[in-house]
Amino acid sequence: MNQPVLTTASPLRAALCNMLLAAVITTAAFGAAPAAPSVAPTADETVTFNRDIAPIIFQNCSSCHRPGEVAPFSLLTYDDVRKRAKTVAQVVGERLMPPWKADPAVGKFHDVRRLSDDQIRRVSTWASTGTPEGRAADLPAPPKFTSEWALGEPDLIIQPSEAFLVEAEGRDVYRAFVIPTGFTQDRHVSAVDFRPGNRSVVHHVIAYLDTTGQARKLAAASSGSSYATGGGIGFIGAEWLEGWAPGKTPRHLPARHGKLIPAGADFVLQVHYHKTGKPERDQTRVGLYFAKEPIDHRVLVSRVNSRGLQIPAGETNHIARGTLPVPGNATILEIFPHMHLLGRSMTVTATLPDGREIGMVRIPDWDYNWQRGYAYEQPLQLPRGSRIDLVASFDNSAQNPRNPNHPPKLVRWGEQTTDEMCIAFLSYTTDTPPTRGGGLGAGASAAAKIWQNLSPALRAELLRRFDKNGNGTLDGDERADALRYWQSLRRDAGK
Amino acid sequence: MRPALAALLALLALAFAVLPAPAFALEFRDIFGHDQRPLEKSSARADVVIFILHDCPIANAFAPEINRLAAEFQARDIRFFLVHTDPDLSATAAQKHAKDFGYRCPVLLDPEQRLVARLKATVTPEAFVVTPAGTTAYRGRIDDRFVELGKRRPEPTRRDLRLALEAILAGQPVAEPVTKAVGCFISTPKRSSP
């Protein structure tokens, strides 16, 4: 939009052209918000809250920065923002806020919360020029938010049986709450939403479904209805249902799509708690919206993850890779990258059968605190024979302030925050029934079923051999290695 | 004439010895209405002034550490003062905040930001250690758990305020008298709108 149109070789004309261009660029930097393009100020006008800043704040900040929400203070009025102008300009300038970690050049997602360079410049200018309020007539209408369920009253609300106490200080807490569904038949949901009970401490929530009874056992051995975990849910075999992090907007699946909640399943809510400096209580609720139509497309969750993850101590740029075949036609609805504290970056790419590459997501500056799912605006069609590749980097040096180990030590795959993971979860549909061949359509659920069908003695033996991080369960890579080993034994036995 | 001048000088000297120096004349009511005189000459070995903001998550996250330091060092002749930097915060709101976070030292409101200006505080939480001579022996972070905004260590690796206080009590110079505090910027009262 700033392209010069003059093409003369005259030095004077060229100089004039440059001046004009400079004026255009300057004007663009102070340009008004899209809502009011007709009042774009010229460069000598001041940037005001009512005209320039309020539209940015209302659209990108206020949904979390309002009473009762996750953010620590409100950003709804001139005074709210004026008082914090310098802090706002700083965190916006560093792109810490709003928290959106995906590279805008890779993938087109719903609910993008990312400011343009132009908007950031306007906030910075406003903060450094005395935070003028501007004309009352310029102030847009304040944003309207629903205080309760964004999709309306859910068909079913589930919650832990009692509030959980979060202490004032210390490392973050991961708690898994077990809630029986009591369903006597399979149900499908078209949407799942979350209402954290205390948004100053709830950092993210992941709802899993457990049909193995293991979550109940872990809870029974702990407080009765919940147990501590290191970041996962402490066992294998549960299915990922839905995740929530601040800023997430719930949405229904496309028509005739649904996620299965098997009869008799238990919900396992894994909640990541921050500590605020004072004791807090939380009781997070989950709202279920049942599919109203027959289901043609069951939405499944699979994952592409690295193999044999081992990050040497001191390594500043350890590269991990993973790959996942796509044996049937698959439609990807959402991607959820997941690493722990050493993760630095992750890129997931699909390669179509014709060799064409499609960027699925890129997180250039991974932050464990702001992980979330990215839902495609247009679901991604991957024809049979495609492949999904993941490349991630990790910093296990002492220079990484987030490194939980002092001094750094060899880090392997595991559940604890002092271990690492390297996964992209994929919500997808497929026209091909799940197989045991691996890839989308098989993946975690098939492996879990194989695992459950093994004899307890065999499971114990595999656990002894492959539980490399000694946490009492086989995590992703360990389980894959164990099952490969077991299958090779069976092949040998069959010869 | 001469005796009169001498008497005047003596009186002045006495006045200076008894009264606080003008730069130290900072009288406050704390949030419960008690008189507080931070940075005033006292029998304390030093004064610690920590600037806070009631809705700054970083300042609030330090509350348990502040409480531990206050409990330990108040018993060793160090005075602690917490200073709210929001000029609009009411005493009632500050009382609730102090109760929620369990503060165990005087909490001051500073609506005119006199202490902010006097010590040139820029962020919350930012700690200052001022000696009885009125010099700032330490200013900066409480510890290094926050590396920068949005980046936090699992545990602090250096507890700067504690180290400074231990040094002062041992009669030693503070090894690192200035560090960079990470937190929410203190906003100065609104300038007139154009």
- CATH code for position B72: 3.40.30.10
For A488, other C-beta atoms within 10 Å of its C-beta total 10
Mean pLDDT of the region A439-445: 50
Q: Which residue has the higher pLDDT, A43 or B71?
A: B71
Phi/psi class of residue B124: alpha, beta or left (left: φ > 0; alpha: ψ in -120 to 50)? beta
Residue B45 belongs to domain spanning: 35-185
pLDDT computed for residue B25 by the predictor: 59
Chosen from B51, B60, B148, B192 to mutate, greatest number of chain A CBs within 10 A? B60
Contact (CB<8Å) B56/A72: yes
Q: In this predicted structure, which of A137-141, A285-289, A461-465, A476-480 has the lowest mean pLDDT?
A: A476-480
pLDDT in tens, B8-21: 555 544 444 444 44
B149, B180, B182, B192, best to mutate vs chain A, most A CBs in 10 Å: B149
Quote the minimal CA–CA distance from B85 to chain A in Å. 11
Q: What is the mean pLDDT of chain A?
A: 84
User: In chain A, pLDDT over 70 holds for what percent of residues?
Assistant: 82
Q: Are A194 and A284 in contact (CB under 8 A)?
A: yes
Which residues neighbour B30 within 8 Å (Cβ) at sequence distance 6 or greater?
B36, B106, B107, B108, B109
Q: Is B16 among the domain residues?
A: no
Q: Which residues of A touch B64 (CB under 8 A)?
A: 168-169, 277
Q: Do B154 and A171 touch (CB under 8 A)?
A: yes
The fold of A156-296 is Jelly Rolls (2.60.120)
Rounded Cα distance, A273 and A383, in Å: 40
Residues of chain B in contact with residue A278, where contact means CB-CB under 8 angstroms, are 60, 63, 100-102
Which of B67, B104, B123, B151 to mutate to probe the A interface, most A CBs <10 Å?
Answer: B151
B65:A169 CB<8 A:
yes
Optimal mutation site among A83, A174, A397, interface B, most CBs of chain B within 10 A: A83
Tell me, yes or no, if A87 comes closer than 8 A to chain B by beta carbon: yes
- DSSP labels for B49-118? EEEE-TT-HHHHHTHHHHHHHHHHHHTTTEEEEEEE--TT--HHHHHHHHHHHT--S-EEE-TT-HHHHH
What pLDDT, on a 0 to 100 scale, did the predictor assign at position A416? 74
The type of residue at A213 is G
Residue A12 has pLDDT above 60, yes or no: no
The structure tokens 């005259």 sit at A10
Q: Which of B54, B55, B188 to mutate against chain A (most A CBs within 10 Å)?
A: B55
pLDDT for the residue numbered A351: 97
Residue A224 is which amino acid?
G
Nearest CA in chain A to B149: A91
φ and ψ at residue A334, rounded to 5 degrees = -155, 150
CB distance from A80 to chain B under 8 Å?
Answer: no
Instruction: Identify whether B19 is part of a domain.
Output: no
Helices (H), A341-420: none
Residue A133 near chain B (CB below 8 Å): yes
End-to-end CA distance of chain B: 58
Phi, psi of A58 (to 5 degrees): -60, -40
Could you say which residues of chain B have pLDDT below 50?
Answer: 1, 12-23, 191-194
- Residues of chain B with Cβ-Cβ distance to A169 below 8 Å are 61, 63-65
- Is position B30 within any domain? no
Enumerate the residues of chain B whose CB falls inside 8 A of the CB of residue A406: 155, 157
Report chain A's terminal Cα–Cα distance, integer Å. 70
| Cβ within 8 Å, pair A277-B62 | yes
Of A72, A96, A369, Cβ closest to residue B55? A72
Instruction: Tally A–B CB contacts below 8 A.
Output: 74
Q: Is the peptide bond before A327 cis (omega within 30 degrees of 0)?
A: no
Q: Exposed, middle or buried: residue A479 (CB in 10 Å: 0-12, 13-18, 19+)?
A: buried
Name the closest residue on chain A to residue B148, using Cα atoms: A401
Q: What's the confidence (pLDDT) of residue A406?
A: 87
| A12-26, A219-233, A285-299, B84-98: segment of lowest average pLDDT | A12-26
The pLDDT value recorded for residue B5 is: 54
Interface check for A397 against chain B (CB to CB < 8 A): the answer is no
Q: Does residue A84 sit at the B interface (CB-CB below 8 Å)?
A: yes
Nearest residue, CB atoms, A86 vs list B147, B187, B193: B187
Chain A residues touching B62 at Cβ < 8 A:
277
- Is pLDDT at A25 greater than 60 in this prediction? no
Structure tokens at A356: 């064409």
Residues A416-443: what's their mean pLDDT?
71
- Write down the pLDDT at residue B191: 45
Q: Is the peptide bond before A433 cis (omega within 30 degrees of 0)?
A: no
Q: Which residue has the higher pLDDT, A70 or A346?
A: A346
> What is the three-class DSSP state of A39?
helix
Residue whose C-alpha is closest to residue A143's, from A74, A200, A196: A74
Hey, are the CB atoms on B154 and A73 less than 8 Å from each other?
no
d(CA A183, CA A54): 47
Q: What is the pLDDT of residue A71?
A: 87
Which residue is closest to B156 within chain A, CA to CA? A401
Per-residue pLDDT tens over the stretch A173-201: 999 999 999 999 999 999 999 999 998 89
Q: Contact A278/B86, CB-based, under 8 Å?
A: no
Mean pLDDT value across residues A163-171: 92
Domain ranges for chain A = 23-138, 156-296, 300-442
**A171 and B149: CB-CB below 8 Å?**
no
**CA-CA distances (angstroms) from residue A146 to A81, A99, A290?**
22, 21, 21
Closest Cα in chain B, distance from residue A78 (Å): 11
Q: With an 8 Å Cβ cutoff, are B154 and A86 in contact?
A: no
Looking at the predicted structure, is the pLDDT value of residue A36 above 80?
Answer: no
Task: Give yes or no for a contact between A228 and A177, defined as CB atoms under 8 angstroms apart.
Answer: no
Contact with chain B for residue A199, Cβ under 8 A: no
- Residue A78 binned pLDDT confidence (cut-offs 50, 70, 90): very high
How many domains are contained in chain B? 1
Closest B-chain CA to A366:
B151
CA-nearest residue of chain B to A67?
A: B55
Q: Over the stretch A368-394, which tens digit does the pLDDT of each residue have?
A: 888 889 999 999 999 999 999 999 999
> What's the confidence (pLDDT) of residue B9?
52
How would residue A448 be classed by pLDDT, with cut points 50, 70 and 90?
Answer: low
Helix, strand or coil, per DSSP, at residue A338:
strand
Flag whether residue A96 sits within 8 Å of chain B, measured between CB atoms: yes
What ipTM was estimated for this complex?
0.83
User: What's the whole-number mean pLDDT along residues A204-221?
Assistant: 93
- Determine the distance in angstroms separating the CA of B80 from the nearest CA of chain A, rounded to an integer: 18
User: Is the sign of the CA dihedral B117, B122, B128, B134 positive or negative?
Assistant: negative
A404-413, A462-471, B91-100, range with the lowest pLDDT: A462-471
Helix (H) or strand (E) holding B17: helix B2-18
Residue A179 has phi, psi (to 5 degrees) of: -130, 110
User: Tens digits of per-residue pLDDT, A111-120?
Assistant: 899 999 999 9
Picking from A160, A372, A362, A338, the residue whose alpha carbon sits closest to that of residue A232 is A338
Contact A94/B at CB under 8 A: yes
DSSP letters, A163-179, are -EEE-SSSS-EEEEEEE
How far, in Å, CA of A304 to CA of A345, rounded? 15
Query: Would residue B23 count as lying in a domain?
Result: no
Q: A169 vs B61: CB contact, 8 Å cut-off?
A: yes
**Beta-bridge partner residues of A310:** A412
Which CATH code is given to the segment(s) A300-442? 2.60.120.230
Question: Is residue A43 predicted with pLDDT exceeding 70?
Answer: no
From A206's Cα to the closest Cα of chain B, the distance in A is 22
Residue among A130, A277, A369 minimizing CB distance to B64 = A277
* DSSP annotation of A53: I
Which among B135, B134, B113 is positioned nearest to B124, based on CA atoms? B113
Could you tell me which chain B residue has the CA closest to the CA of A135?
B194
Instruction: Please tell me the distance in Å from B149's CA to the nearest CA on chain A.
Output: 7
**CA B68, CA B50: separation in Å to the nearest integer?**
14
Mean pLDDT of A32-61: 73
Confidence of residue A31 (pLDDT cuts 50, 70, 90): very low
pLDDT value, residue A33? 38
Q: What per-residue confidence (pLDDT) applies to A238?
A: 86
Mean pLDDT of chain B: 87
Query: Which residues from A are below 8 Å from B65, CB to CB?
Result: 169
Q: Please give the full DSSP string across A206-222, using - where no structure is assigned.
A: EEEEE-SSHHHHHHHHT
Q: How far apart are CA B146 and CA B156, in angstroms?
A: 8
- Average pLDDT of the residues in A335-343: 93
The larger pLDDT score, comparing residue A266 to residue A415, is at: A266
Distance from CA of A295 to the nearest CA of B (A): 43
What integer pLDDT is reported at residue B16 of this predicted model? 43
Pair of tokens at residue A237: 């075999």
Rg (CA), chain B: 18
Please tell me if the domain spanning A156-296 has the same topology as the one spanning A300-442.
yes
Where residue A232 falls among pLDDT bands split at 50, 70, 90? confident
